[in-house]
Chain A
Amino acid sequence: MVWFVQCVGIFLMLTLSPLMWGISQTVKARMQGRHGPSIVQMYWVIAKNWKKETTVPEFSSFVFRLAPSISLAALMVVLITVPVAGRVPNPWPHNLLTLFFLLALERFWTGLAGLDSAGTFGGLGASRVTTLGTGIEPALLAAVAVLWRISGHTAIVPLATVLHHNPSNLLPWLLASASLAVVLLAELGRLPVDNPDTHLELTMIHEATLLEYNGRFLAISQFAMTLKLTAMITLGWVIFGPDLPSLWANLAVRVLEVGVSAIGLGWIESRFTKLRYFQLPAYLAAAAGVGVLAFYLLAGGLTL
């Protein structure tokens, strides 16, 4: 039964990710006073690109052709390790550190592909993506360290279970979740760090590495992008959200939670402007700093 629900959950995440993207796009459009494209537009975009002819830059190598598949594969693994149906034992490794490694792998290949595209903006985007990565990773690790210190685990299920049955350490727990939320905006390439909707090549971060892609490769990259959004938000809710006794109820609540988060994301993106590029280290350092502070509070024996 657990298996079945987990599989349904993974299937739902795979199929609903473009919709989640559409929800946040629609919220943004409405806040701008526009009607905006259909909420299911992302499905059509992916399907359209899938059907189009695929070309590759003249001077690119196998790296360019391999990168989208590797990114997608890394995110698929992330997806199946998230215990979407609830905190039930998961037979395959689902350590948070593995998960962050997979995200780093995806970032690494995205950057490599940007360089390999031999386009002007690809190189710029690759430089920016990897530079941001060096700020994102310490912040993620600091947050994981806090969670580990509270629960004694880095595997998702036992970690979440302990957190929920041990409601002391509320302050460090809150600080760590705030730090994670802030750094996830950077990891997902959303405002105030990166603007996924812009056409201004010079300001792009993640999109700049994708500029030379078209056809199937672009469809894969776009699908991976939506998948990353859904997987990360789901993971956040699994760790920090409520857990119901019924698996099916859990799954339903999770879908609802992700939908609400997509609305929230659209709202946040409408409120903020993009930070200056050289302000981003401070933004990420603040997130890491909060995580480190939470860790010291715990190490100092503070319990609240």
Chain B
Amino acid sequence: MNNTPWSQANQALKESHYELLCLTATADDTITATWLNPADGSQQSLNVPVIDQHFPSLTPTLLEVAWDEREIHDLFGYLPEGHPDLRPLVRTPRWPERFFPLKNASVDPPPWRALEPDNPAVTVQGEGVTIMKVGPSHAGIIESGHFIFSLIGENVLHLDAHLFQNHRGVEAQLEGLTVSEVAPLISRLCAADTVSHQTNWALAVESLSDFEASQTLEWRRIVLLESERILSHLNDLAQIPAGVGFQVAHQRALAIKEYWQRGLLLIYGHRFLFDTVKPGWAHPGSAEDMIALLDAMAPKWKAWRALVEGHHGFQDRMEGVGIVQPIDAVHFGAQGVAARAAGKAFDARTVLPWYRSFDLQPSISLAGDVKARFSVRLNELDESFRLVEQACTLLRQKGNLLAGNDLTQGASGRVITFTESPHGLNVHDVVLNAGHVTRYHVRAGTYRNWPLLAKTVAGNTVADFPLINKSFELCYSCNDR
């Protein structure tokens, strides 16, 4: 199974340090793997046909696609031959047996089955091992995830995370929609990465319509993308102290985040920046107001940074907890902060041409622990402040009014677009036919990091799980497409 030309070709790209953008199945019985060359931003696509509902699995040689193939198995019914773990990922036992929503959605599905037991979980057997189930409903206001811990005393032996509890069927819903109908749905895919998702969609349509984006448009998008990163990182940084009972830092960071969101509401009309980017367009906002907001934020942010960096108890608490090994970051295809804090230097912004003139400095750490992820976020936040300010200054000096572009007419073709969302490399695989969506696949940054989190938690104490979990701060909504 490891020697099929398909697996060898993918293996070769992985070994040349290409970044896997996505593994997409389409209803015409094809599996496509698209890789990105981080050196020059070029893409390379590989295909394998699905024959008689079977295709060769890549998982035995390419660990990071384990979930993608399980998802294809659940939603298309294509069987990845040689996959070591084909338990349902998205499906629940309630789904009708022969119902594959992305393959035979038009067929009336047989009725939903009565409530049945959960999907099978992987647990450790043996004397003294206890199984602890947490969720899918939690005590705090957080999303639904079912975590099955195998513990020996206070130590975690294994974690099996059952996510996809609120699967929304967005990819199926998008099929058949016209270009103008897609944007509001994509904007609401995930409140934490919304600008990144919207930008991916806009880039896809623009690329298929041969639209040349002006510099003003690119700067506006940089301001929006970085504003989103500031919002998301502030939230994530606020959650980490809460994991160790450092309520003062937690609440004060939330207050700064609230201040930022009120500013965004005034400037962009939305606290989460929904509907701010569309094909050929980006919300103009106000460069002056944005710079004023940044200036007002700066002292609050500096005071908070001094508070957490000067608190020895807090710093000590994060050190050596939840260590991601650099080799795991590569094997699991980790993205975003989790990857950069474990020595994997990839940041999609360095590949995107419109970021080039901004001299971006990715923040990297080799330690891989909670402290590393915390400090990488601190540095990235400062970098985002700088980028917003720089882009706003450019907009003020050279920005011009944009003519409205109507990009809603019949584009056709397939394109794969990506941006660096606050949670990592965010990829959209879009197939359009005469202005209608025929396939839309979203592979968000957190998708690769969830299995890595489960691996990382093993060996730590269960009381540290909230801390480790919050240092990854993975998105549920991006999975529950």
Contact = CB atoms under 8 A, between A and B. Distances in A.
A197 interface: yes
A273 B313 contact: yes
Interface in A98-138: 120-121, 123-124, 127
Contact of B243 (A192, A201, A203): A203
B134 A120 contact: yes
Interface in B253-279: 255
B466 A202 contact: yes
Contacts of A278: 154, 461
A201 B135 CA distance: 11
A39 to B, nearest CB: 18
Given A201-B139, A278-B461, A273 B241 contact: yes
Nearest to B252: A33
A177 B474 CA distance: 46
Interface residues of A, number: 29
Given A203-B463, A278-B461, A273 B133 contact: no
B130 interface: yes
B190 to A, nearest CB: 23
B132 interface: yes
A213 to B, nearest CB: 14
Contacts of A199: 139-140
Contacts of B313: 192, 272-273
Interface string B454-480: 000000011111100000000000000
Contacts of B242: 198, 200
B314 interface: yes
Interface string A30-73: 01111000000000000000000000000000000000000000
Contacts of B130: 123
Contacts of B466: 200, 202-203
Contacts of A198: 242, 245
Interface in B232-259: 241-248, 250-252, 255
A28 B140 CA distance: 20
A214 interface: no
A33 B251 contact: yes
A270 interface: yes
Contact of A277 (B140, B247, B463): B463
A201 B137 CA distance: 12
Contacts of B317: 273-276
Nearest to B139: A199
B134 A34 contact: no
B187 to A, nearest CB: 30
Interface centre among B244, B251, B465 (most CB of A within 10 A): B244
Contacts of A200: 139-140, 242-243, 466
B311 interface: yes
A142 interface: no
A191 B247 CA distance: 11
A273 B139 contact: no
A300 to B, nearest CB: 35
Interface of A: 28, 31-34, 120-121, 123-124, 127, 191-192, 195, 197-203, 269-270, 272-278
Interface of B: 130, 132-134, 139-140, 153-154, 241-248, 250-252, 255, 311, 313-314, 317, 461-466
21 contacts: A31-B248, A32-B248, A33-B251, A123-B130, A127-B153, A192-B245, A195-B245, A197-B247, A199-B139, A202-B134, A202-B465, A272-B245, A273-B241, A273-B244, A274-B244, A274-B317, A276-B317, A276-B461, A276-B463, A277-B463, A277-B464
Given A32-B251, A274-B317, A276-B461, 16 more contacts: A31-B248, A32-B247, A32-B250, A33-B251, A124-B132, A127-B153, A192-B245, A195-B245, A199-B140, A202-B466, A203-B245, A203-B466, A269-B247, A272-B313, A273-B244, A278-B461
